[in-house]
Amino acid sequence: MRALRVGDGTTSLVEIMAPEPRGEAVVRVVLSGICNTDLEIARGYAGFRGTIGHEFVGVVEEPGGGAIGRGQRVVGEINAGCGACARCQAGDPRHCATRTVLGIVDRDGAHADLLRLPARNLIAIPDGVPDEHAVFVEPLAAACGVLERCPIEPGTSVAIIGDGKLGLLCAMALARFAPLLVGKHPEKLALARGLETATVADARRRGHAFDVVIEASGDVSGFELALDLLRPQGALVLKSTFHGATPIDAARIVVDEIRVIGSRCGRFAPALDLLARGAVDVGPLISEVVSLDHAEAAMRRAAAPGVPKVLLSR
């Protein structure tokens, strides 16, 4: 089968052996999405070697003993736990000490014709959700995960920093709280239809006006801006994985008693519910759909400024 693999400083589409079930489910991938994590891994982040990609829609080829039968459309939770530890037994392998992560940690990923995951990780896609929208379930789940780590009550003032894909999805997922989306690119801010947006300069002029600020830019300047926008005893939610060392003004955090909260992966069910109800429209985020045969060029395209989401079709 075809697979987009990283290793030895290269990212190449190659032919490899198809995965054998080995007690897990095998899924034929229909669509996969290129995300910033893929781009960072291709540059050497996390030291991963193998097939990249973790956003996908597919069709079950081998159920692997699970309840979802052959031929059903699925998405899949990307964290595969040991199945035996307390976290896995509680149904949440996201922090299993020996977990593998699809296309990120010790498990070949989704930019391929086939992938393998534990059957318990697969979730059926509601009939009304098209493939092009379902492929966003993983990053949309990450956006919904903010509420797991930082519950937000009605009337809470919320700002989101970053007008990239993650920031836009956070704004869509939290639309009922009327967040302010802050960014540097008018063309990206325009994708946040029906939501209030502001440039960095305009947001800073509001002063310490927000109870919760979600940092989704992945830039040190975003962290600094968040502290400028937060009220004393506010909450700063970090959604981006910062690459390398990040200088932090710890004194401001202590003096203003700011809560700093990390938020990584979210559960898929809330994201699928938003898509099934039509509560979010991810369509405007799709810039183009490219055949897996042209995956190397698609990666270069996805890394270009101003490109929201590139999808790989089969």
- Of all residues in the chain, the percent with pLDDT exceeding 90 is 92
Cβ neighbors of 20 (< 8 A, separation 6 or more) are 26, 116
| Mean pLDDT lowest among 43-47, 54-58, 61-65, 249-253 | 43-47
Is residue 2 within 8 Å of 13, Cβ to Cβ?
A: yes
Cβ neighbors of 101 (< 8 A, separation 6 or more) are 54, 78, 79, 80, 107
pLDDT digits (tens, 9 = 90+) for 168-187: 999 999 999 999 999 999 99
* SS3 state at 267: coil
The domains located in the chain, with CATH, are 2-141+266-313 (3.90.180.10), 146-262 (3.40.50.720)
Burial 155-184 (b: 16+ CB within 10 A, else e): ebbbbbbbbbbbbbbbbbbbbebebbbbbe
* Residue 9: predicted pLDDT: 83
- Mean pLDDT, rounded, of the chain: 95
In angstroms, the Cα distances linking 203 to 44, 62, 192, 260 are 34, 51, 16, 20
pLDDT digits (tens, 9 = 90+) for 237-249: 999 876 667 788 8
3-state per-residue secondary structure call for 4-73: EEEECCEEEEEECCCCCCCCCEEEEEEEEEECHHHHHHHCCHHHCCEECCCEEEEEEEECCCCCCCCCCE
Average pLDDT over residues 74-78: 97
Main-chain dihedrals φ then ψ at residue 312, nearest 5 degrees? -105, 120
pLDDT digits (tens, 9 = 90+) for 88-113: 999 999 999 999 999 999 999 999 99
pLDDT digits (tens, 9 = 90+) for 274-296: 999 999 999 999 999 999 999 99
The pLDDT of residue 155 is above 90: yes
Average pLDDT over residues 159-173: 96
pLDDT digits (tens, 9 = 90+) for 243-270: 667 788 899 999 999 999 999 999 999 9
| Mean pLDDT lowest among 42-46, 205-209, 251-255 | 42-46
Q: Label residue 78 by pLDDT band (50, 70, 90).
A: very high
* Residue 242: predicted pLDDT: 61
The pLDDT of residue 139 is above 70: yes
- Write out the DSSP string of 268-302: HHHHHHHHHTT----GGGEEEEEEGGGHHHHHHHH
